[in-house]
Structure 1
């Protein structure tokens, strides 16, 4: 199971009733955060999943509404007695951005591992059950979209274990993914586990114009979270100028990518009631939802 929550749905600046866009995911208690604008840790407190177990933070880009909440969040996590390393992933320029932000947080009790997305995109960085990939998209600054895959545990196959003459006392260790040595021979989990099973896939894209690569990238997602900066198709000129998307454009990507569900987010401050334009998207892709503060969903593995 993979739990997903939208921490906020606002673009550009926070509003009294709309926090800035960010997403948190949790699987087996280990969490991944995408973007961290001002006020993100307040939203994390509201969702109640904790902060200490955030292992990975991904940044789409480095505009203030997506990143300036980071120093405070890292400081709070440090005060929770975390000592395990944390991974931060972001587009090129990540090292300089983190160096600048950390001037006000000069000490943390844990290490930050920084992964800068290469020119061709990030191809499957895996941590625990998470596998993360990314592509660059089309915004006014360098910006990335993310795909989060959650791996499914393989089923233990006792017949394989017996066939490979593996003693019962090693089965549990191998089932958990550990390698063991038996009389000088290396025994791997593959020798007792069944075939790979279909996992879960969640894709996330804000601050971009539609791109051909994005359709392939989100293909067959269980959930696609995408910006809908403007609801009215009459705002196309503004979307082109500012490198953002219309509701209808996000819906077309969802349809062409054959995703299961689309959540719209990152609304313009001028878009007071995004629900007014939901039919614009639903006419193209029916399973479209207008994102709301602290909206949650549990994605379950298919049988």
Structure 2
């Protein structure tokens, strides 16, 4: 299971009752944070998921509303007692910005490793999440992310029994090992069923709609996507500022065949995000406007 908490939903600046856009992902006992605007630790604390298990942070880009909360989060993670490494991912230029931010958080009880990505790269996140990224269109280095939790094929006990394999060896085959037993070589595919679909989500913000975004979000169970604007009349603003309005975000979800869309990163001028939701639903029906603290759970049992 993957739990995604939308910690904040605002773009540019935090507002009363609306923190800056970021998402916290829980997979088992591990946590991954996507973006980290100022004050991120406050809504995080309200969720009650703890800080010690944070293993990675994925930054979309280096604008302040996405990175300025990093020192506070680092301190909270340290205060929680973490000593294991923390990995930070982001576009080209991430190291330079993090170095500056860490001048007020210079010493941590855990090592921090920074990975700069160009896009179209694959890497592993905590808890076995398989991640990839693509270049967004924001006028500066910016990344959108996708994460997948693979699902192992079903173990077929009757086939293992027909081969005379002791139960104690079954788990090794489930893990993909090849066994030598009783003079025969046993391959995992001899006792495993057909491949099964895993679960996946994409996180897309601060970009114009592009084919790369459609490809990244292909067939995801959940697309978390910006909706900086909620009115098609704001299209000139969206183009000038390299953002999207609600119907464009919904267009990505539709083109990608996503299963559901959560809108976030609303402009401070948007008083009621339900207008963005209404506009997006004209293009992609299964759309919701995020609220701060909203949690969406994805499980193998509810995938197709």
Q: Normalising by structure 2, report the TM-score.
A: 0.90
Say if 1:263 and 1:290, in contact at 8 Å, map to a contact too.
yes
In 1, the alpha carbon distance for the partners of 2:137 and 2:44 equals 29
Say if 2:28 and 2:127, in contact at 8 Å, map to a contact too.
no
Aligned to 1:240: 239
Once the two structures are superposed, what CA deviation does each residue of 1:173-225 show, in whole Å capped at 9, x if it has no partner? Answer: 55456788989x99886676444321111011111111111112111111111
Matched, 1:262 2:261: yes
The unaligned stretches of length 5 or more in structure 2 are: none
In 2, the alpha carbon distance for the partners of 1:126 and 1:163 equals 38
Secondary structure of the corresponding residue to residue 13 of structure 2: coil
The offset of 1:134, in angstroms, is: 0.5
Say if 1:129 and 1:152, in contact at 8 Å, map to a contact too.
no
The 3 A distance-change label for structure 1 pair 82 and 173 is farther
Aligned to 1:130: 129
Q: Normalising by structure 1, report the TM-score.
A: 0.90
Say if 1:164 and 1:191, in contact at 8 Å, map to a contact too.
no
Aligned to 1:276: 275
In 2, the alpha carbon distance for the partners of 1:228 and 1:26 equals 24
Secondary structure of the corresponding residue to residue 128 of structure 1: helix
The 3 A distance-change label for structure 1 pair 15 and 194 is same
The offset of 1:11, in angstroms, is: 0.2
Aligned to 2:100: 100
Say if 2:31 and 2:126, in contact at 8 Å, map to a contact too.
no
Aligned to 2:45: 45
Secondary structure of the corresponding residue to residue 245 of structure 1: coil
The 3 A distance-change label for structure 1 pair 125 and 74 is same
The offset of 1:266, in angstroms, is: 0.5
The offset of 1:128, in angstroms, is: 3.3
Aligned to 1:62: 62
Once the two structures are superposed, what CA deviation does each residue of 1:6-28 show, in whole Å capped at 9, x if it has no partner? Answer: 00000000011210000111121
Say if 2:263 and 2:277, in contact at 8 Å, map to a contact too.
no
